[in-house]
Amino acid sequence: MPEPVKIAPNELSVAIVGGGMGGLAAGVALGRAGVKVDLFEQAPKFEEVGAGINLGPNTVRTLEQMGLGDEYNSVAETEDSGLFFQWWDGIKVNKYGETYTKYPRSAVHRARLLEVLHKALPASVTVHLGVRVHMVKNLEQDKKARISYTKSKPPPGSALPNLGSGAALDATDNKEPLEEHFDADVVVGADGIKSVLRGIIHVPSPSEAGRAAGQPSSQRYTGTYCYRALVPMAKAQALDDPGKGIFAQKPKMVFGPGRHLTIFPIEQGTVLNIVAFVSDRSKPKDERTWDGPWLKKVDMDTIQSDFDGWDEYPKKLLGLISEKDQVQWALHEVLSPTTWRQGRVTLLGDAAHASLPHNGSGASMAIEDAYVLSGLLAMPQCTRETVDEFLQVYEEIRRPRGLRQQLHACETGEMFEYATDKWGSDTEAIAKEMLSRTDWIWDYNIENDMQDARDLLAQRKLI
């Protein structure tokens, strides 16, 4: 693992709000570049959360360029045969085929990837757990930005995490919550789709947000909810049907009107990750609403009724979902606001451009953001006097790709659920489209962004 360079006394300090995928990736990249980083996470401890995620080759390359290639490969599930997925029509499973691409398929349990990032945080990073940030503001005269926060008490008997990487850990104490402040040269909001920082700096929504265009950017319900489950592979294999080409260990897409399933193995083939999507597109995008909590507990009868009329195999597969996973997850998005920045405060990852998951690129975009932001802030020409302009270049380079991915992912989901005029319910045409549909995402090399950033900086006489 590369050693971080020594920090010069007058170099930038960065406060990252949010310890998820994007925040941790930024912490690793900035810390290894020698930038002093303080990472503030609301949770009192790092926990194993989430399920399986797909990572495209663009993201695997970015992790390799961050020095994390070996660590990622040790926990990922990689399929080198070129099989992208088997596909079925959910109503009639005997209508199926296989789609192969030129890319290796890569999937990982989200918790394993987070562990890789935790362990890679270098000594120039201090992690603050149990911190709730409720205000951020620019201190123009001091050339700083300030976050205000309170610390929460840790759960009784909770053990502090072992980061195992040299990063310092500033955990909560048992004092009564008091407001505290922290000043840094830059504040990065990596606090997810419900971003507190995005709400505070009032960045405006783009024209794609419909009636909300120009208003402060916020999340909106997409009209889709999903069920997420991790199933022991042995149970899934009991449903194998070689006569129909059904094998649990092969990644699958099951298409259908207003419904679709994404299925793939993780954890070295011992666990099957299942995500079942249910959509209602009867209203325009900016008029769809979700009542109540984003996660709603339901029963198996509700899940099965959502797939009434579907073939026996996918319904049996859904029948393996455990009681604790019988939950509807309301899927929201944040159309990338027209600017991510207010002074020395900027956004990253889902805080800036949370999207539907149908391209498998949400985590990828966050990791790419982190790579570019860290590359810019680590440049010797990026100082307390010029950092605003470097943050502007970061936004100009990354925002178009994040917004394009959001809109593209929405259309991908519509395609999977027979909701487009272009592909309709033609499963073979959909499978053919998938051969190249994500090439613009997957063929990308993040160093192209860095070169574009350097060109912009040179044009503006900043380097």
What would the pLDDT profile of 289-327 be if each residue is shown by its tens digit? 999 999 999 999 999 999 999 999 999 999 999 999 999
The pLDDT confidence band at residue 100, using thresholds 50, 70 and 90, is confident
Bridge-based pairing state of the strands 52-54 and 105-109: antiparallel
End position of a domain, from candidates 285, 309, 333: 333
Tell whether 320 and 238 lie within a shared domain. yes
Please choose, from the candidates 374, 449, 453, the residue with its C-alpha nearest in 3D space to the C-alpha of residue 14. Answer: 374
Residue 427 lies in a domain: no
Tell whether 54 and 174 lie within a shared domain. yes
Residue 157: CATH number of its domain = 3.50.50.60
Residue 231 lies in a domain: yes
Tell whether 397 and 264 lie within a shared domain. no
Residue 224 lies in a domain: yes
Tell whether 353 and 441 lie within a shared domain. yes
Buried-exposed string 315-325: b where 16+ CB fall within 10 A, e elsewhere: eebbebbeeee
Averaged pLDDT for residues 410-418? 98
Phi-psi region at 397: left, alpha or beta (left = phi > 0; alpha = psi -120 to 50): alpha
- The model's pLDDT over 106-129, given as tens digits with 9 standing for 90+, comes to 899 999 999 999 999 999 999 999
Complete edge-to-edge strand list for the sheet that includes strand 131-139: 131-139, 144-151, 179-184
Residue 352 lies in a domain: yes
Tell whether 70 and 36 lie within a shared domain. yes
The pLDDT confidence band at residue 10, using thresholds 50, 70 and 90, is very low
Write out the residue range of the structural domain in which residue 344 sits: 13-77+111-218+336-419+433-459
In the prediction, which pLDDT does 116 show?
A: 94
In the prediction, which pLDDT does 166 show?
A: 75
Give the percent of the chain with pLDDT over 90: 79
Tell whether 26 and 48 lie within a shared domain. yes
For the whole model, what pTM was predicted?
Answer: 0.93
The pLDDT confidence band at residue 379, using thresholds 50, 70 and 90, is very high
Tell whether 404 and 349 lie within a shared domain. yes
The pLDDT confidence band at residue 79, using thresholds 50, 70 and 90, is confident
Tell whether 71 and 85 lie within a shared domain. no
End position of a domain, from candidates 285, 305, 333: 333
In the prediction, which pLDDT does 426 show?
A: 93
Residue 37 lies in a domain: yes
Alpha carbon distance 301, 299 (integer Å): 5
Residue 237: CATH number of its domain = 3.30.9.30
Neighbours of 280 (CB within 10 A): 12
Tell whether 386 and 276 lie within a shared domain. no
Averaged pLDDT for residues 261-290? 95
Residue 8 lies in a domain: no
Tell whether 160 and 279 lie within a shared domain. no
Tell whether 233 and 287 lie within a shared domain. yes
Alpha carbon distance 448, 443 (integer Å): 11
Residue 5 lies in a domain: no
Tell whether 127 and 191 lie within a shared domain. yes
- The model's pLDDT over 153-195, given as tens digits with 9 standing for 90+, comes to 666 655 556 676 678 888 666 566 788 999 999 999 999 999 9
- The model's pLDDT over 28-59, given as tens digits with 9 standing for 90+, comes to 999 999 899 999 999 887 766 678 898 999 99
Within 8 A by CB and 6+ apart from 343, the residues are 138, 140, 145, 388
Averaged pLDDT for residues 1-30? 77
Alpha carbon distance 164, 183 (integer Å): 27
Averaged pLDDT for residues 118-146? 95
End position of a domain, from candidates 333, 354, 378: 333
Residue 424 lies in a domain: no
In the prediction, which pLDDT does 126 show?
A: 96
Number of domains in the chain: 2
